[in-house]
Structure 1
Amino acid sequence: MAFLNSFDISGYGLSAQRVRVNTISANIANAQTTRTNEGGPYRRQEVIFKAIDFNKVYNKALENETSALEYSDPLKEGLAGLKPNPAIMSVVVDKISRDDKAPKMKFDPSHPDADANGYVAYPNINPVVEMADLVEATRSYQANVAAFESAKNMAGSAISILQN
């Protein structure tokens, strides 16, 4: 059913934005972390999204279905003229990349992680940028929730119309 596609699209968007919010939250939480297991200060992480064209997947599945049918089958003749749904694009998390910018160096000779010159390497994280990204990710998440709710209400209305 075509209306289920909107649930899928919203679901993928919700999942991707949830990962983004979690990553940004980790960046904010570790903005003052000067020592990690890998050594050195915490490195900012950024989520990279990737668009998925479900139209290609749908066309391939449709081709496989029609090629599996016998040539004399009337169903195959009906499927031969079938046009696929419009392109359905979605987004998934491609990867979480690490920002390798140079850390901020602050003079603090009393800090346990200070180098021989008294400088401490702090993560190169700007809390203002992180908060702006967090607001953007939260709003995107809310938009996907609203789209999901609208699709749910439309499906419920359609079912109630069919019941009457």
Structure 2
Amino acid sequence: MSEFSKSLDVTTSGLKAQATRLRHLSENISNADTPGYRRKLVSFETAFGGQGVSTVETSRVRLDQSTLERVYDPSHPMADESGYFDGSNVDLLIELSDAREAQRSYEANLKVFEQTRKMSSSLMELLRK
């Protein structure tokens, strides 16, 4: 039975990590037009869970230090004397493709979780007979 719980530990850590990634990606997308906003970056690390199983977890969220887009709009309240202000460094195309990748990875982990649960239930049914 411990193999099933190990499998569930790995898949739940993957689900949590991808959910965290999706949350930060959605924050990036919603703040794409916020002046001075720096996109949040999430990376994964190997964690050693109980029972000698390697799981995944997210590292500390970092801010992307690439240069902010300079936007020309003299009427904007944050514009300097030359009419420019710092926009965000969020690229919607990258964020959307990362969100799609995270969603598919989440779905794959969910399928593994469901399969493990089904196999465990089937084993319990066999043992009852």
Same fold flag (TM > 0.5): yes
TM-score normalised by L of structure 1 = 0.75
Q: Are 1:49 and 1:95, in contact at CA under 8 Å, matched by a contact in 2?
A: no
Structure 2: which amino acid aligns with 1:90? T
Structure 1, unaligned stretches of length 5 or more? 35-40, 59-86
SS of 1:50's partner is strand
TM-score normalised by L of structure 2 = 0.94
1 CA distance for matches of 2:68 and 2:75? 19
Structure 2, unaligned stretches of length 5 or more? none
Q: Are 2:103 and 1:138 equivalent residues in the alignment?
A: yes
How far does the alpha carbon of each residue in 1:59-113 deviate from its partner, in whole angstroms, 9 at most, with x for none?
xxxxxxxxxxxxxxxxxxxxxxxxxxxx632101111111111110011101111
How far does the alpha carbon of each residue in 1:6-43 deviate from its partner, in whole angstroms, 9 at most, with x for none?
11111100000000000000000000001xxxxxx111
1:77 is aligned to none
SS of 1:2's partner is helix
1 CA distance for matches of 2:53 and 2:8? 12
2:65 is aligned to 100
Within 5 Å, give how 1:14-163 maps onto structure 2: 14-34=15-35, 41-54=36-49, 58=51, 88-163=53-128
Q: Quote the sequence identity (%).
A: 35
How many residues matched? Answer: 128
2 CA distance for matches of 1:106 and 1:94? 32
Bigger radius of gyration among the two = 1
Q: Are 1:107 and 1:118, in contact at CA under 8 Å, matched by a contact in 2?
A: yes
Q: Are 2:8 and 1:7 equivalent residues in the alignment?
A: yes
**How big is the alpha-carbon RMSD for the aligned residues of Structure 1 and Structure 2?**
1.2
SS of 1:95's partner is coil
SS of 2:61's partner is strand
